[in-house]
Amino acid sequence: MVKVLVIGAGALGQVFGVRLAAGGAKVGYLVRPGRESWGGGSLYRLRRGRAPVHERLEPYEVMSEARDEHWDMVWLCVDSTALRGTWTAALRAATGAATVVTIGQDPGDLSTLAEVWPREQIVQVIPALLAYQAPLGGEVPGPGVAYWVPPGSAMGVAGERAPQVVAALRAGGLRARPVTRAGAAELTAARMIPYIAALEISGWRLPLKGARLRAAGAAAREAVAVVSAQHGRRALASVPSWAVGPALRVLPWLLPFDLRRYLEAHFTKVRAQTRLMLAGWIAEGEARTLPVGALSALRRALPA
C-alpha cells in the first residue's frame, strides 16, 4: 500500500487526499500546531446540472510535526510563499527518499525545493481542477470542500518519478499524464495570474474589459516571454485579451458554482503568492533585459 503524507489541509490538500485514498493509498496529514484533532471532513464533487457527489475524507493520522518514518510520497499542498519557509529541511529529514510532489507554479518553486531535496525526488503536478471551502452559495448541502474537475481535463505531471504519481492519481479516479516539456506549470501561471491580478485591482468585478483587460493581456505576454526564456523555449503564445473578455462573460453561466465569489475567496487567500509571482517575473525579465513594463505597472496597481 502506498503511504502518502499531505502537507496542508486546505481545499486542494483535501481533494488530493480523498482521491489518493480512494485509489488505495494510506493518507496522513501534516497540519499547523493546534489542528492535530482535525479528523477530516466532507467533500463535494460538483457536476453541472446534477447534484454534487458527497465524499468523506478520513485521514489515518494527523500530526503537527513530521515523524521519522517511511513515506512513499509527500504532497506539498501549500502556496508558493510557504515553500520558502525553513520547515522544509525538517520535513526532508523525517521523510528521507520519499517522492516530493509540489503543486507550486511560481518560477522559483523548483529551485527552492531543489535546495532541500535532490531534484530527481521532486515531481510537479499541474492541478486540473478547482477547489474551495464551501458553500459559496447554495451549491452544496453543507460545509466542506467543493471541487470541480472540468470534463476532459487531465493533470500534467513532470519529473523523473512522474509515473508513480500518475499511477496514484489515476487509481483515485483523476486523469493524469506525464509532461516532458520544461516549464509547463510555470507557463500555466504566467498565462493566468496577470488576469487574476487585474481582477483583484477591479474589486473582483466580472468581466474584465477595456484598458484593464488589455493591460492584463500585455502583462501576460511579458510573463510568458520571461518563463519561455527561463526554460530555453521559444516565446510561446499567451491567452489574448480579446479571448479572455468573452470567456469571462460566458464562464459564469457554464460552471456549477459562483465564479466571481470563487475567484475572490481563493485568490484573496493566496494574494501574497500573486505578488510573489509578479515580482519573480519582473526580476527575471530585468535580468534578461526583457520587457516588463506591463508587469511592473500591474504590480504597482495592486494593494500592498
The partner residues of 29 in beta bridges, in order of sequence, read 6, 62
Average pLDDT over residues 124-138: 96
For residue 237, what pLDDT is reported? 79
Where does residue 34 fall: left (phi above 0), alpha (psi -120 to 50 degrees), or beta otherwise?
left
What is the mean pLDDT of the segment spanning 259-269? 96
Query: What is the pLDDT confidence band of residue 240, given thresholds at 50, 70 and 90?
Result: confident
pLDDT for 164 equals 97
The distance of Cα 262 from the centroid of its chain, to the nearest Å, equals: 14
pLDDT at 125: 98
pTM: 0.95
**Which ranges of 157-292 would DSSP assign to H, the alpha helix?**
162-171, 184-201, 210-230, 241-254, 259-269, 271-287
Q: Please check the confidence at residue 106 and state whether its pLDDT lies above 90.
A: yes
pLDDT digit string, tens, across residues 274-300: 999 999 999 999 999 999 999 999 999
Q: Tell me how far apart the alpha carbons of residues 6 and 14 are, in angstroms, rounded to a whole number.
A: 9
Mean pLDDT of 11-15: 98
Domain regions of the chain by residue span: 3-178, 184-301
Structural fold of domain 3-178 = Rossmann fold (3.40.50)
Query: What is the Cα–Cα distance from 252 to 214, expressed in whole angstroms?
Result: 21
Round to whole Å and give the CA distance between 198 and 201: 5
Model confidence band, residue 233 (pLDDT cutoffs 50, 70, 90):
confident
pLDDT at residue 177, rounded to an integer? 97
pLDDT value of residue 304: 81
Residue-wise pLDDT for 208-232, tens only, equals: 999 999 999 999 999 999 999 999 9
Of the listed ranges 112-121, 192-201, 239-248, the least confidently predicted one is 239-248
- Amino acid letter, 33: P
Comparing 13-27, 120-134, 242-256, 283-297, the range with the smallest average pLDDT is 242-256
- Is 235's pLDDT higher than 80? no
| Strand, helix or coil for residue 295 | helix
Determine the Cα–Cα distance for residues 209 and 156; give it in Å rounded to an integer.
31
Whole-angstrom CA distances from 27 to 7, 168, 245, 300 are: 11, 12, 41, 42
Distance of alpha carbon 300 from alpha carbon 296, whole angstroms: 6
Measured between its terminal Cα atoms, the distance across the chain in Å is 46
All cell numbers assigned to 40: 477530516
How far apart CA 46 and CA 49 sit, in angstroms, is 9
CA dist 29 and 287 (Å) reads 39
- Nearest-5° Cα angle at 197, 193 to 198: 120
Starting at the edge strand found earlier in the chain, the sheet holding 50-57 runs 50-57, 41-47, 144-148, 130-134
Question: What is the reported pLDDT for 234?
Answer: 81
Average pLDDT of the chain, as a whole number: 95
Using pLDDT thresholds of 50, 70 and 90, give the confidence band for residue 205.
very high
